[in-house]
Structure 1
């Protein structure tokens, strides 16, 4: 039950992430023209006040009124030309929003029911590491060895066992560190030196240099 509650919350969040930008875009587009028109009206009012106080010559005031009127006319023409598109935009936005709201939960939940396993019990790492080694995967065995060595870093035998496993997994840097720890703790040997050399070469992409 808890899983489905969390899934519903996540689905709602994903739907809102789609809907909110659409709503903000539509609101911004509708308010832009109104704002410009209000600015032009304020300019006309200020122009009338300046003319009444004699701060501007009648000819200049008439010219300024004509220019503001032309701007208002262009704004009105643009609004008229885009009226059809503006009328269709909200309907299109609502259609997209509706499809998104329906598609997100239906597709995601449908895929999960088909491919997922909501009733599968959880498998914490601690429980997986406590399993019988014969029933564990390679990754689980490596994780178990790493946990042991994290608690017992002076276990040279553990590093010696883990190093060739890292090497086979192509975790070359980890293999080189493991071989160095094994040599430091349990002494040098031809096998360990050979493994360390292979790990260093693998980490360098197969290039062996004098500095390696």
Structure 2
């Protein structure tokens, strides 16, 4: 804290001035304010007035410093909140980036899609369809997300599908019991893109 020395110096100067050797003028001042004690009384009043002015100035300086410190802290908290909100929004974009129509692209002779819908932060529903001369498909399955991997809830046959998302690609991987959903010579182990 920076304290203005002007009041302190002024107080010392006045104290030294008033305590200096008495002169004829001091006696006149003393007599005009009530005798010799009147000079001391005037000196005390001046000192008290200077003290009060100094206290007021110090209060104002302290108040300004506290307000400035609070503004800086508030600005830091605001900036941190904005950064965290920005990170959360980026994270949400990543977590909620599954939903949509994904097209099969890993084999030129196959047709198919992966449709993801009703996505939440926890998971989503999906339909997967792959066709050539045979068809493999699962409809209305629910998958629970964990980062860039989502696993379907085990169905009545024990089938669990794993979906891995990397950028604009999703790779599907069927569990060992998922063969009941695909025909002969076709499987659901595929790559989809938007």
Q: Which has the larger radius of gyration?
A: 2
Normalising by structure 2, we get a TM-score of: 0.27
Q: Which has the higher helix share?
A: 1
Normalising by structure 1, we get a TM-score of: 0.26
Q: Which has the higher strand share?
A: 2
